[in-house]
Amino acid sequence: MHHRSRPFCSTLLFVALSAAPGFAGQRAVPAVGNRTPLFEADVRPVLLRKCGACHSASGRAGLDIRTPGSLKQGGHAGAAVHAGSPDTSPLVTAIEQHRMPPAGSGDPVTKAELQIIKNWIAAGAHANGSSVGHWAYTPPVSSSPPSVLVPFVTPSNPIDRFLLSELKKQGLSFSGMAAPRARIRRLYIDLVGELPTPAETDAFASNPTPQAWGQIIDRLLSDPRYGERWARYWLDTAGYADSEGVLEEDRIRPNAWRYRDYVIKSVNTDLPYDRFLMEQIAGDELARYRTANSWSDSIGSCLTATGFLRTAVDATRDDFNTHQFVEYQYRMLHDTQTILISSTLGVTLQCARCHDHKYEPFTQRDYYGIQAILNGAIRPEGALLPSARRQVLAASVSEQKQIKDENAAADADKADAEKQLEQLRSKTLRQYFESRLAYVPVAERPALIDALATLVAKQRADQKALLAKWKGLTVPSEDQLSAAIPTFKAATDSLKQRIAAAVAKHRDIPEMRAIYDQDAAPPPSHILLRGEYLKPGDVVLPGIPAVLGRNSRYEPAKDVEPGTTGRRLALARWIVNPTNPLTARVEVNRIWAHHFGEGIVATLDNLGQSGAVPTNQKLLDWLSVQFVRGAGGAGPWSRKAIHRLICTSQAYQQSSDLNPKGAGALRDPEDRLLWRQRTIRLDAETLRDTMLQMSNDLDPIMFGEPVGEDTRPTGEVVAAGEDGKGRRSIYLLVRRSKSVSFLNAFDAPVMETNCTRRVASSTAVQALAVMNGTFTAARAARLATVIASAGNIPQQIQTAFQRVFQRAPTATELKQSQDFLQNQAKAFAGAPGAKGTEADWQKRAFEDFCLALLSSNEFLYVD
């Protein structure tokens, strides 16, 4: 039997990859001297000249110096190069100690050459050294916005100046300002995920000044719905779900929703993004919760935030075999790491799990350096039992003790009161029975007492009959007892009150799904050869990718409480350090993408060399620097400030109209330079939410346990009660194996790892869902009721258009609508077997009219 389970990497795969868009772009190569040496250009020639005679194809001592891979693999004596660590690399020590090249066999390596080799190793010993100089791996530099003179445009917003400067090179400019109605609709959908009311639309349309625009932006940014809207994007990249995602059972994850609420709150309060990330990556270490004397909301918030590192699919189960358990834990760890790095740094470090990255300067050592940071908390082979659910109690240790003591006292009081109540009841029963025994014939009395004293299971038929006969006597109601024995009621009431008070006193401490280190000294972490956990390689220290750490050193944080490693806190600090080249760019790019439909770098999760080329790198860098410093008078890392900058730009407010024969369509058909706004389809959640809003069914209540789902006999998964109790979609249960069919049809992601980018497909299934689905039918019926009070038919049509489209119908549309209502009522009346009144047909015609509006492109798309 031949063994073939080991995966390999096909060359074909990578041939295909190298053709990826953007691969050839933006490759700045500075002069040698102040840049990192490149293997092909700088290192390989030296090694070939000085060492190649013996250590190439012939491979003396098993060593082949021709590729970075073979150098790291080394020869019989082990690895020749340790990436990132020149001083411990045998290649370097052999040269420094003049052991190699051996005396008499050619020229020695010069000092300058050795320095090149050492620098190359220090930078990570990459094959593709060229990407080290990739723009995204060096910190952004803010250039001043270019001054541009374009007819009819007065670019006061720097964003516009950056964009216009590029557009001008193509002989292009912005499109005209979009109509007020289109703008306010766009803004509402973008910022709060709902539509403006007719009154809000009218107010702006009658006064569409920049001041009014700015005020609406400010109002919407402080609207709680803003947090619900923008938290969704972060929850996508964080891979948020309410279920474990494993097997048929796909069990519900208790308390995951607290993290969802944390994100919504943080977005709403504009928690500075650096703090937002730090809390999510190392909230436990930041809050020092273990040694805190008293619990505070801030501690709770910090711990809840670490739910970010607990979103991955988790196979932790008691009934898994131990060997499988380890395998699944490694998968969970890998996914967690992927989520952490792709969402914050926007690079594809996950590709370096089994081998050095083929296109980015990331080594396997870099990958396992990050893994070692997480190993403080997640240890696939550690001592945690599968059943450990890893929840943290929201109270300090001393508070927990106090609450425990108080609960014990309350519980004891309750037990005592219950006992007394029980005694009182039996005593009263006896009194009652004895007082009523007189009614029983003397002859039957001994038998009755006997029957009462017999266990129910052992009662004979005649005993049962006797008890039934005297039921009123043996099983009196509370009322009968109270009537017979006057003190009974007062006594029981007082005891019942005591029990209720004791129950109320018992405090449950909320649990949080959090991450925390298991202890301060984890066992050594290893590089896993080919990513296989059964093949541990070198020990690896916690660390950050060498190429990104050129300006900083990684060391676990020392200012942490005992019992934790400080590894994640140090990582978090490094990620949010203003010199980190990626963090700000990634977030700014993400915000941009959700306002314009595309990022400045289209690949939101990959700003690396293999990602897309930025359409305007200077703009991205300027925005990133503004973000870190604080834009427009806001504090550092304010996301609301970036929204404000973007939404006040002309680029954002311009029309999305497309003239297929215009200059823009010809010169920049993909609109990469933004000569027009883009038409965007509502995402699944926004579509559902706005439909609920239109039918007056949207419940504005925020936060809390998720609303569950139901599976119908047809296999359709619906939010509980069909409309999910009118809650916004962000509060619906995210069960990985059972996504709500309506949301799924409109491309809501099934959360397998995380979702860094959604698609907006257009399918017949969507058409069926809106035309024939019960959710939309219910919305249409309710909307028809809402507009029914508007007056006569034309007024109702007017109202419906205003409400759904934020505009009045044209004369043609009004006529078409009226004709439709008339014909449709006739169609219902004339259908075979139709039963009902004229009013019924009218009503159903109006429902169909509303369904058509809610199914229309104008409703589904934002201009």
Partner 1 sequence: MASDTRQELINLISRRELFSSLGQGAGALALAMLLAEQNATAQSRYTLTPKKPPLPVKAKRVIYLFQNGGPSQVDLFDPKPELRNQDGKKPGTGFVNDVDVKKTGTWLGSPFAFHRHGSCGMELSELLPGLGGHADSIALIRSMVSEHENHEQACCHMHTGMPQAGRPTFGAWVTYGLGTPNQNLPAYVALLNPAGMPVDGSRNWSSGWMPPLYQGMPVRASADSPILNLNIHGPQAAADHRLAFLQTLNKEHLKNHPGNLDLEARITNFELAAHMQLEATDALDLKKETAATHAAYGLDKPETEVYARQCLMARRLAERGVRFVQVMMTGQPWDTHSDNSNQLKSLCKSTDKPVAALLADLKQRGMLEDTLVIWTGEFGRTPFAEGKDGRDHHKRGFSMWMAGGGIKGGTVHGATDEFGYSAVQDIVTVADLHGTILQLLGLDYRSLSYRFDSRDQRLTDVHPVSIVKQILA
Helix intervals (H) in 256-346: 256-268, 273-287, 297-305, 322-344
Considering only residues 812, 835, 837, 839, which one is a binding residue for partner 1 as defined by CB under 8 A? 812
Query: Other C-beta atoms within 10 Å of 621: how many?
Result: 24
For the CA atoms of 413, 415, 417, 418, the dihedral, rounded to the nearest 10 degrees, stands at 160
**Of 397 and 529, which CB lies nearer to partner 1 in the complex structure?**
529
Residues 721 to 760 in contact with partner 1, rule: CB under 8 A: 736-738, 741, 744-745, 747, 750, 752-753, 759-760
- By the rule CB under 8 A, 240 interacts with partner 1: no
For position 304 contacting partner 1 by CB under 8 A, the verdict is: no
Instruction: Name which position in 200, 202, 381, 813 contacts partner 1 (CB under 8 A).
Output: 813
Question: Smallest gap, in angstroms, from Cβ of residue 773 to partner 1?
Answer: 5
Site string for partner 1, 630-669 (x = CB under 8 A): ---------------------------xxxx----x----
Tokens read off for 695: 């039918």
Using CB under 8 A, which of 200, 561, 840, 858 touches partner 1? 858
CB of 779 to partner 1, least distance (A): 14
Closer Cβ to partner 1, 16 or 447, answer by number: 16
Contact with partner 1 (CB under 8 A): which of 716, 778, 793, 818?
A: 716
Region near partner 1 per CB under 8 A, out of 110-118, 482-490, 549-557, 855-863:
855-863
User: In the complex, what is the shortest distance from the CB of residue 529 to partner 1, in angstroms, rounded to a whole number?
Assistant: 15
Q: Could you tell me the smallest distance in angstroms from the CB atom of residue 608 to partner 1?
A: 8
Site string for partner 1, 41-80 (x = CB under 8 A): ----------------------------------------
Q: Is 313 in the site for partner 1 (CB under 8 A)?
A: yes
One residue of 33, 149, 715, 792 binding partner 1 per CB under 8 A: 715
Phi-psi group of 8: left, alpha or beta (phi > 0 → left; psi -120 to 50 → alpha; rest → beta): beta
Q: Which of residues 242-281 bind partner 1 (CB under 8 A)?
A: 245-248
Minimum CB separation from partner 1 for residue 201, in Å?
A: 18
Nearest 5°: the CA angle 719, 725, 728 is: 80
CA–centroid distance for 139 within its chain: 26
State which of residues 209, 497, 696, 772 lies at the interface with partner 1 (CB under 8 A).
Answer: 772
Q: Figure out which of the listed residues 28, 388, 534, 767 binds partner 1, where binding follows CB under 8 A.
A: 767
Quick one: 699 or 813, whose CB is closer to partner 1?
813
Compute the distance between CA of residue 92 and CA of residue 187 in angstroms, rounded to an integer.
60
Nearer to partner 1, 339 or 392 (CB): 339
Q: CB of residue 733 vs partner 1: minimum separation in angstroms?
A: 15
Alpha-carbon span 149 to 166, nearest angstrom = 12
Q: Which is nearer to partner 1, 178 or 642 (CB)?
A: 178
Beta carbon nearer to partner 1, 195 or 473:
195
**Subset of residues 576 to 615 that bind partner 1, contact rule: CB under 8 A:** 603, 605-606, 608, 610-611
- Contact call for residue 1 and partner 1 (CB under 8 A): yes
Q: Which residue number, 120 or 841, has a Cβ lying nearer to partner 1?
A: 841
Q: From the list 765, 788, 795, 836, which residue makes contact with partner 1 (rule: CB under 8 A)? A: 765
Distance of closest approach, residue 774 Cβ to partner 1, in angstroms: 8
* Non-local CB neighbours of 860 within 8 Å, separated by 6+ positions: 681, 682, 687
CB of 327 to partner 1, least distance (A): 10
Hey, what are 175's tokens? Answer: 């499109």
CB 377 within 8 A of CB 515: yes
Footprint on residues 13-32 left by partner 1 (CB under 8 A):
13, 16-17, 20
What is the token pair recorded at 86? Answer: 């020149």
Tokens of 233: 């994007």
Q: Supply the minimum distance, in Å, between the C-beta of residue 834 and partner 1.
A: 8
* Closest to 311 (Cα-Cα) out of 266, 360, 262, 345: 262
CB 581 within 8 A of CB 138: yes
Beta strands 709-711; 680-681: pairing state: unpaired
CA distance 656 to 653: 9
**Candidate segments 198-206, 488-496, 616-624, 850-858, binder of partner 1 by CB under 8 A:** 850-858
Query: Which positions from 319 to 358 touch partner 1 by CB under 8 A, shown as an x/- string?
Result: --x--x------x------x---------x-xx-------
Output 96 or 813, the one with its CB closest to partner 1: 813
Find the part of the chain contacting partner 1 (CB under 8 A) among 61-69, 227-235, 721-729, 767-775.
767-775
For partner 1, the closer of residues 143 and 659 by Cβ is 659
Which CB sits closer to partner 1, 319 or 508? 319
DSSP per-residue string spanning 661-718: TSHHHHH-TT-TT-SS---EEPPHHHHHHHHHHHTT--B----SSPB-EEE-TTS-EE
Find the shortest distance in angstroms from Cβ 178 to partner 1.
12
The one-letter amino acid at 624: S
- Name which of residues 457 to 496 contact partner 1 (CB under 8 A): none
Q: Which of residues 817-846 bind partner 1 (CB under 8 A)?
A: 817, 820, 823-824, 827-828, 830-832, 834, 844
- DSSP per position, 718-758: EETTBBGGGB-GGGB---TT---HHHHHTTPPP-SS--S--
3-state secondary structure string, 537-561? Answer: EEEECCCCCHHHCCCCCCCCCCCCC
3-state secondary structure 149-192: CECCECCCCHHHHHHHHHHHHCCCCCCCECCHHHHHHHHHHHHH
Q: Which of 238, 846, 848, 862 binds partner 1 (CB under 8 A)?
A: 848
* Residue placing its CB nearer to partner 1 in the complex, 589 or 603: 603
Stretch that binds partner 1, among 28-36, 289-297, 615-623, 811-819 (CB under 8 A): 811-819
Tell me the C-alpha distance between 188 and 55, whole Å.
66
Give min distance, CB of 316 to partner 1, in A.
15
Q: Which is nearer to partner 1, 85 or 818 (CB)?
A: 818
Please tell me the distance from the alpha carbon of residue 600 to that of residue 611, in angstroms, as a whole number: 12
Would you say 599 and 194 are in contact if contact means Cβ atoms under 8 Å apart? no
Contacts of 831 (CB under 8 A, 6+ apart): none
Nearest distance from C-beta of residue 759 to partner 1, angstroms? 5
Q: In this structure, what token pair is assigned to residue 698?
A: 């949207």
**Element spanning 474, H or E:** helix 471-474
Separation in Å, CA 435 to CA 32, 439, 440, 470, 700: 110, 9, 11, 14, 60
On whether the CB atoms of residues 330 and 311 are closer than 8 A, the answer is no
CA angle 775, 779, 782 (to 5 degrees): 140
Give the DSSP letter of residue 612. Answer: P
> Which of residues 349 and 451 has its CB atom nearest to partner 1 in the complex?
349
Residue ranges in 775-794 that form contacts with partner 1 under rule CB under 8 A = 777
Q: How far is the CB of 483 from partner 1 (least distance, A)?
A: 55
Torsion of CA 399, 401, 405, 410, to 10 degrees: 50
Stretch that binds partner 1, among 104-112, 284-292, 568-576, 814-822 (CB under 8 A): 814-822
**Comparison of 350 and 396: residue with beta carbon closer to partner 1:** 350
Strands 536-540 and 525-528, by their bridges, are antiparallel
**160 binds partner 1, rule: CB under 8 A:** no
- Name the H helices within 806-837: 811-830
Number of shown-chain residues binding partner 1 (CB under 8 A): 93
